[in-house]
Every structure is written in C-alpha cells, then in structure tokens.
C-alpha cells in the first residue's frame, strides 16, 4: 500500500482494518509455535507508565507461551527511553538494535510520521516490523492497534448513554500535535454532530499529558461555564477524576485508559466508565504476529483491537482483569 498522507482527512478516516478482533477473539488467541529460535526487540516510547509495562508484559507472556509450545525459543529484549524518548533517539536506538541483528522488531513509535525512518532502516536490513500502539503510516508494517478515530466516536456514545437527556460538557482533548489525541477528539466531535444534537461541547482545550495542566484547563472552562453535565477525557491523565472539585464530583466522567492505577475509580465511582485500550493484547498478539511472520505464515496487515467500556457492571470480569500488571512485575530495558 502507498504511504498514508497525514492531512486533515487522515484524522477523520477509520483504519482500513483487515481484521476487527473482538474481545472474545483476543481471549481465545493462541500464538503459533516458533519454527526456529527468534530474538525479537520490543521498542517503546517509555517503560515508565503502566500502559507501556502492560504491552511489555503481554509480549513476555506470549514469548513464554510460544516457547512452552515446543519448537524454537523466543526471546524478547526491551528498548525504551529514560522517561520518554524522542523521535531522533528512537531512530538511533533502532539503528543500534539492527546492528545486533534481531529477527524482528515490535515498534510502539514516538512519532507517527517520523517513525517511517525506522521502518526504512529495518526494511533495508530485512527485519520485519510489527507496529503497535500508535500508527506508523507505512504499508510495510503489520499493525496491532486500536482505531483512535472510532475510539473517539465510542467516547461520545458512552457519554450519551450516561446523559440520555443531553447537556453541556467539556472535552479534555489532550496534546494538539499527537495523532492519538487528535483522532479521538475529531471522532468525538463527529459522532456528536451526526448522532447527538442534545449534547453540546462547551470547550475542548488541548493540554499535554499532565494532570496539573489539565486541571487548570478544566477550572478555566468551568469558571466561565459553571453548569456542566458531563466530562470526556481522551486519557485519564488529562484530568484525574480524583482531583475534580467536589461540586463536580457527580458529573458523569468518561475517559481512557483502564489500568492498575485507574481501576479503583470504577469501584468507588470517581469514574463512570473507562475505556480498555488493550495494551496487554497489543503486546501479546504483536509478539505472536512477529513469530507468525518469521515462520512465513500469512497474517493480516492491520489487526484492529477493540476498546470496550469498563464500568461497575464488568470491572471484575476475567477479560478486564487480564489487562492489569501483576504486582511486582516490571519490564526492564535489556
């Protein structure tokens, strides 16, 4: 396929998924046995957040399952920035990794367009790339990820379900220049415009993934609009529900992601719903996909994972709890 052009239409266009995996599909997924000994490098932005640790945990679990199935042994090596890496540093990491001669790379990229250079380098070395988390707009990679545009639309659906009578609300839109947040914001707005005329977006401020900045933005909005009926955050770190002033504590709140850190908010009602973005499964299926590619098997180029809503009705179910990192487990850079 031709490279994707990152114009305005890109942010309002769903992924062209070859497979739309359901939660049941993921739970029943079994990675293939390896037909040789494979060393696979998992490159991430960071290992400093639960989202990234959950992807690493999924990959490690898949590698253990593949090895236990017989055949070859699969080893995963993790590479990530100290704190959060940048595009230039991630490209330098990729070049160093390729000198070691890995069999495959799983890439959770820093930057959508800038990461194409990593794919160029891997392609020149004959190393396949499995892309997770954030899209690399290049037809040479195998993708395992959520569709952030449809994710944003689902956010509007979740808000509409909580406030069927409609009302005025705030969208915490996240970083203005990040693909994931812009797609979620655009998707939310598009869905409101097409389906929910009784929902009004008062304001949708952009902010870094910084709870203090997000809270300041929220307070600025409600200072001029004290009556609000709902809150949607493209990520919970844009506005932690436990920091929202008491007078807004009962306002319906929806965000992503469901993690070890955010799980208590569902139990205590601080958050009405959190989207599960499947980092464990991106790591698990991503590793399995890399093994299948190395085996010479046919795999879908774009495997879209679901983003189900977690609330008090399902928070303790096994398919939800599998996304949580076991206490004491931590991936280390290798």
Tell me, letter by letter, the H, E, C secondary structure of 136-160. CCCCCCEEEECCHHHHHHHHHHHHH
Is the confidence at residue 334, as pLDDT, over 80?
no
Is the confidence at residue 323, as pLDDT, over 80?
yes
Provide the pLDDT for residue 4.
Answer: 67
What does the pLDDT look like over 275-299, one tens digit per residue? Answer: 999 999 999 999 999 999 999 999 9
Say if CB 235 and CB 171 are below 8 A apart.
Answer: no
Which of residues 197 and 5 earns the better pLDDT score? 197
E strand or H helix at 90, and its extent? helix 87-100
Domain boundaries, the chain: 16-146+278-308, 148-275
Provide the pLDDT for residue 111.
Answer: 78
pLDDT, average across residues 106-134? 93
Among 241, 269, 245, CA closest to 255: 241
Integer Cα distance of 132 and 76 in angstroms: 15
Q: What is the pTM of this model?
A: 0.94
Q: Which CATH architecture fits 148-275?
A: 3-Layer(aba) Sandwich (3.40)
Provide the pLDDT for residue 137.
Answer: 83
Is the confidence at residue 310, as pLDDT, over 90?
yes
What does the pLDDT look like over 72-111, one tens digit per residue? Answer: 999 999 999 877 778 889 999 999 999 999 999 999 998 7
Same fold, 16-146+278-308 and 148-275: yes
* Average pLDDT of the chain, as a whole number: 95
**The CATH homologous superfamily of the domain defined by 16-146+278-308:** Response regulator (3.40.50.2300)
Is the confidence at residue 3, as pLDDT, over 70?
no
């Amino acid at each position: 396929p031709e490279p994707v052009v990152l114009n305005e239409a890109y942010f309002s266009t769903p992924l062209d998924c070859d497979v739309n995996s359901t939660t049941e599909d993921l739970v029943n997924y079994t990675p293939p046995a390896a037909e040789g000994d494979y060393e696979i490098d998992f490159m991430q932005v960071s290992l400093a957040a639960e989202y990234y640790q959950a992807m690493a945990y999924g990959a490690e679990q898949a590698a253990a399952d593949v090895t236990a199935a017989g055949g070859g042994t699969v080893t995963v090596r993790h590479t990530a920035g100290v704190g959060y890496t940048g595009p230039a540093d991630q490209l330098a990491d990729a070049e160093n990794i390729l000198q070691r001669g890995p069999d495959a790379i799983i890439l959770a990229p820093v930057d959508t367009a800038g990461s194409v250079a990593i794919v160029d380098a891997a392609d020149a070395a004959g190393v396949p790339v499995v892309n997770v988390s954030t899209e690399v707009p290049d037809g040479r990679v195998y993708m395992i990820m959520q569709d952030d545009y449809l994710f944003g639309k689902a956010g509007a659906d979740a808000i509409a379900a909580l406030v069927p009578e409609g009302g005025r609300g705030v969208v915490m839109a996240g970083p203005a220049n990040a693909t994931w947040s812009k797609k979620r914001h655009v998707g939310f707005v598009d869905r409101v415009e097409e389906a929910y005329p009784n929902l009004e977006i008062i304001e949708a401020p952009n902010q870094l993934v910084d709870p203090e900045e997000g809270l300041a933005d929220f307070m600025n909005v409600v200072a001029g609009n004290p009556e609000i009926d709902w809150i949607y955050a493209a990520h919970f770190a844009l506005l932690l529900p436990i920091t929202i002033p008491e007078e807004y504590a009962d306002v319906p709140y929806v965000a992503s992601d469901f993690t070890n850190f955010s799980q208590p908010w569902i139990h205590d009602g601080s958050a009405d719903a959190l989207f599960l973005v499947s980092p464990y499964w991106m790591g698990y299926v991503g590793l399995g996909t890399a093994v299948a590619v190395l085996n010479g098997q046919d795999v879908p180029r774009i495997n879209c994972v679901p983003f189900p809503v977690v609330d008090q009705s399902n928070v303790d179910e096994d398919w939800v709890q599998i996304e949580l990192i076991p206490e004491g487990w931590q991936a280390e850079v290798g």
